[in-house]
Structure 1
């Protein structure tokens, strides 16, 4: 194993919080922006409306037309503004907590017995750290996600993110930006815990040396995104209803006050299958976006922790 591989393998301990934050910010922006049009299609499929899914998919299939393609990018600036700081906090918190939890598990005799059941300390630490990091991420990102989904709607009339924010606040108050927060957290914690643990597991299996390997990071990220998004789709459908309720013309949806109301509306109209509306575009969004996120994150973490970053800064 080369010196470069050895140094990279220990980055979790040696990289600084700032380096993790910068790498996380780049990963978040790249992840959300590249797959944004597909995410718009997913939102439109999940929203309860008089249009059936066939009509929505047919409408989405016209994205080659300039006008429709432009509409699928509406609200992307909200993601750029929110994803940077939210993912910076997310990944920095994750790396910090993972290191601390791993160290605690290794030192605690009683907790070490868990390893005898075939569950590694690394897997446990990754899952728990991912859940903790999610709380900070979602608190920062939820308001931006609300604006994003309002603008992604097929019949959205908002011309800018600023106009959307102003009207939502004027008509629905501050509560509208966080009405889905409990549901978002209840979805994101299992999603991120599963994603981080799955990623770390497959990365370790595919590359036991822990070296910088873009191909491995891409594959492990894609698998992690597919698994996590599949499991949490029902909660995502509920979250979408709550975040877009203010734009609905239906009184029942407008008056939904939380998780229970939203779940009842979805089940009452579509049964259990209603909780899997938008399943395919959600998985198709999360597989590449998670792969991109981890690949960009690992690259910048490697770049910022190597002497290449110093040479780059000297050139500037």
Structure 2
């Protein structure tokens, strides 16, 4: 559905067509790539958020602006760092015709065979992206990905911190009340 000039009228049409043409395995084509991307994304995201909280909010008080700024920057950095994996995942998912029809330039398996019928696996996707766009090809769409992630992660962290604060405050008040009743 995200491809330029997508031939599908909607999500159900897309699912039906892919199921008929390629079978159920097509829906899991980039699953390992997705996992390969999500693990470093989340690691970078959480480490960056915690580091920024140490700088901006060292006493770890409820501070919505520091939570939002830290969350937005953490999401931006994680998104930028994992964009090469996202580009490969998108290529595996879409199997874009330009990548399939461009003759091989002698990189990797199948040298000199011309067009590939199917891009399979992360290594093949990496070779294809490099063949088509060089190193800068791995960062196609980095700005869009960062712009998408920043508000998303800012909102997520601020909501998380809000509920953590609310629940912690509620538990603290409950303990105080129980302690005061016990002293009576």
Same fold flag (TM > 0.5): yes
CA distances 1:237-289 after superposition (whole Å, capped 9, x unpaired) = 101100111x6374546511111211111111221111111122122222222
- For 1:211, which of 49, 58, 61 is the aligned residue? 61
Give unpaired runs (5+ residues) of structure 1. Answer: 1-150, 308-316
| TM-score (normalizing by structure 1) | 0.45
Q: Structure 1 residues 298 and 248 mapped into 2: Cα distance closer, same or farther (>3 Å)? A: farther
1:273 counterpart (136, 150, 153): 136
Number of aligned residue pairs: give it: 156
Q: 1:291 aligns with which of 138, 154, 161?
A: 154
1:152 to 2:15 alignment: no
| Corresponding residue of 1:167 | 17
Give 1 or 2 for the bigger CA radius of gyration: 2
- Inter-partner Cα distance in structure 1 for 2:168 and 2:10: 38
TM-score by length of 2: 0.74
User: Does residue 1:223 correspond to 2:73, yes or no?
Assistant: yes
SS at match of 1:217: helix
Q: Distance in 2 between matches of 1:164 and 1:292?
A: 31
Report which of the two has the higher share of helix.
1
Q: Name the counterpart of 2:121.
A: 258
- Aligned partner of 1:191 in structure 2 is 41
In the TM superposition, 1:63-78 aligns within 5 A as none
Runs of 4+ in structure 1 off by over 6 angstroms are: none
2:61 and 2:136 map into 1 onto residues whose CA distance is 43
Mapping of residues 102-117 of structure 1, within 5 Å: none
Cα RMSD (Å) of the superposition?
A: 2.1
